Amino acid sequence: MNVMHQASADPAAAKRNSWVLTVAQAFGGANAPIIVSLGGLVGQHLSADPDLVTLPVSLLSLGLALGTLPAAWVMRRFGRKPGYLLGSVIGMVSGLIAALGIVLSSFLVFCLGTCLAGFYSSYVQSYRFAATDNATAAQSHKAIARVMVGGLIAAIIGPQLVIWTRDALPGTPFAGSFLSQAVLAALAFPVLLMLRTSTPRAAHASESAPERPLVQILTSPRYLLAIATGVVSYGLMTFVMTASPIAMVGHGHSIDQAALGIQWHILAMYAPSFVTGRLMVRFGKERVAAVGLLLIGCSAAVALSGFDISHFWLSLVLLGIGWNFGFIGATAMVADCHTPAERSKVQGANDFLVFGTVACASFSAGSLLHSSGWETINWIVLPAAALVLVPLVWRAARPGDHSGRPALR
């Protein structure tokens, strides 16, 4: 594995690609905040069933989960660049269909648009893996974190576009915001044209080691731990974040205070990306991921300690930072578990499991909060985080396993 990474490394191309993908992430990553901000509000206007008003947002998560494996197949068959350009086209179409659903007052058409937006997100989410292509081991950690900085920009662009464009089309509130979603996907298209990638045939021809079956890779302890870290980090974050605004309002805090708490949470999710890559190079990805899970556990402890607005806000900030360390660390761990020829299927399987969990968390958080309360949500976090934290700490303590060298064990 070391030899293969050294043979395929092209630091100049890797650095260029990481910046291209960061810009593309800033455009494509704004897709989700727009839908999360407006999906429920549009659902209230279009759905005849009050129980279905949040369905458009949940379909975003479902589309993301369902799109990961087809996206991985497309990129494996045709290459990164054609796959990402196709994803950009899907993003344009999804925004246009969602806007059309609002114009036609069709809840079904609107839901189709948000589900397709999830398929677009399945391509956007893999930008973090693409940043490691042709990169050295140390360079790949920084490249992953750099692309995640694009998510911070996206988290700012998305809500601002909602404010600027929600009344752009007279008589059809919010349709303009979904047209702007399509425009952002269109802006990503020329950016992605600047990617420098090898063809799938050339990539496979450069490999000297046989490609392993996915089942064999899935049974690797190192890969299983990487998947578990990503699943728990992202799943718990989504689980708590989805329930937190409702819990804040339910405990007597205003909608504005709840919205501000979510804004701080999103900033905490992405702002640490400026240093996460350096921390992984210095201390190792397993150790950084372990700190992330520990912070997620601390966020639950803070939430359980009281119901003042300060408890909610501090909990959400810790949750965001914990997600950043845990998820980026898990991404780097996955990137070390495959050869270049295996990357599409290994990364696709990882994202299917991670975002499938995210979809389940999104669907279940509201009903569990309603039936069992905010405390139960946070009590669930503690054992789930500990379940992965223990083997992660054990792995990080083993000599050589956190050095940044690729490994297939």
pLDDT for residue 198: 61
Q: Please write the tens of the pLDDT for every residue from 178-197.
A: 999 999 999 999 999 998 87
pLDDT for residue 57: 80
pLDDT for residue 405: 42
Instruction: Out of 163, 196, 229, pick the residue that ends a domain.
Output: 196
* DSSP assignment letter at 173: T
* Number of Cα atoms under 13 Å in the Cβ half of residue 362: 20
How long, in residues, is the chain? 409
Report the candidate in 127, 107, 125 with the shortest Cα–Cα distance to residue 117.
125
Give the C-alpha separation, 328 to 331, whole Å.
5
Q: At what angle do helices 309-335 and 137-165 cross, to 10 degrees?
A: 140
> 221 and 189, same structural domain?
no
- At residue 15, does pLDDT exceed 90? no
- At residue 147, does pLDDT exceed 60? yes
> 240 and 159, same structural domain?
no
**Percent of the chain's residues with pLDDT above 90:** 38
Q: Please write the tens of the pLDDT for every residue from 188-222.
A: 999 999 988 765 554 555 445 567 887 888 888 88
Token pair 């802006």 is at which residue?
Answer: 187
Q: Is-contact 255 248, C-beta < 8 A? A: no
- At residue 325, does pLDDT exceed 60? yes
Give the C-alpha separation, 393 to 402, whole Å.
11
Report the candidate in 103, 91, 97 with the shortest Cα–Cα distance to residue 46.
103
pLDDT for residue 201: 52
Token pair 């063809």 is at which residue?
Answer: 199
Average pLDDT of span 281-308: 94
Token pair 């990961």 is at which residue?
Answer: 68
- Other Cβ atoms within 10 Å of 89 Cβ, number: 14
* Residue 75 neighbours by CB under 8 Å, 6+ apart: 82, 83, 84, 126, 344
- At residue 1, does pLDDT exceed 70? no
pLDDT bucket at 7, cuts 50 / 70 / 90? very low
Residue 270 in domain: yes
Region for 101 from its dihedrals, namely left if φ exceeds 0, alpha if ψ lies in -120 to 50, beta otherwise: alpha
> 258 and 224, same structural domain?
yes
- At residue 293, does pLDDT exceed 70? yes
pTM here is 0.75
> 240 and 131, same structural domain?
no
Nearest 10 degrees: Cα torsion 255, 258, 260, 261: 180
Residue 201 in domain: no
Residue 71 in domain: yes
> 158 and 297, same structural domain?
no
Q: Please write the tens of the pLDDT for every residue from 230-277.
A: 999 999 998 888 788 878 888 888 867 877 787 788 889 988 988 888
Instruction: Out of 196, 227, 249, pick the residue that ends a domain.
Output: 196
The CATH number of the domain holding residue 347 is 1.20.1250.20
Average pLDDT of span 368-390: 91
Token pair 């900030």 is at which residue?
Answer: 317
Q: Amino acid letter at 249?
A: V
Scored b (16 or more CB within 10 A) or e, 206-240 reads: eeeeeebeeeebeebebbebbbbbbbbbbbbbbbb
Please tell me the total count of domains within the chain. Answer: 2
Measured in whole angstroms, the distance separating CA 335 from the mean position of its chain's CA atoms is 15
- At residue 103, does pLDDT exceed 70? yes
Measured in whole angstroms, the distance separating CA 370 from the mean position of its chain's CA atoms is 26
Residue 206 in domain: no
Q: Is 399 exposed, middle or buried (0-12, 13-18, 19+ CB in 10 A)?
A: exposed
pLDDT for residue 409: 43
Q: Is 107 helix (H, G, I), strand (E, B) or coil?
A: helix
pLDDT for residue 399: 62
Average pLDDT of span 50-61: 80
Q: Which of 341 and 16 is assigned the larger pLDDT?
A: 16
> 235 and 174, same structural domain?
no
> 254 and 176, same structural domain?
no
**Percent of the chain's residues with pLDDT above 70:** 91
The domain in which residue 236 lies consists of 214-397
* Rg of the chain (C-alpha set): 20
Residue 203 in domain: no
Give the C-alpha separation, 2 to 364, whole Å.
42
Report the candidate in 385, 151, 124 with the shortest Cα–Cα distance to residue 269.
151
* Residue 24 neighbours by CB under 8 Å, 6+ apart: 84, 124, 127, 150, 188, 191, 192
pLDDT for residue 113: 96
Report the candidate in 23, 31, 64, 59 with the shortest Cα–Cα distance to residue 183.
31
Residue 404 in domain: no
> 226 and 178, same structural domain?
no
Q: Amino acid letter at 323?
A: W
> 15 and 65, same structural domain?
yes
First to last CA, the chain: 10
| The two three-digit tokens of residue 47, written as one number | 């759905």
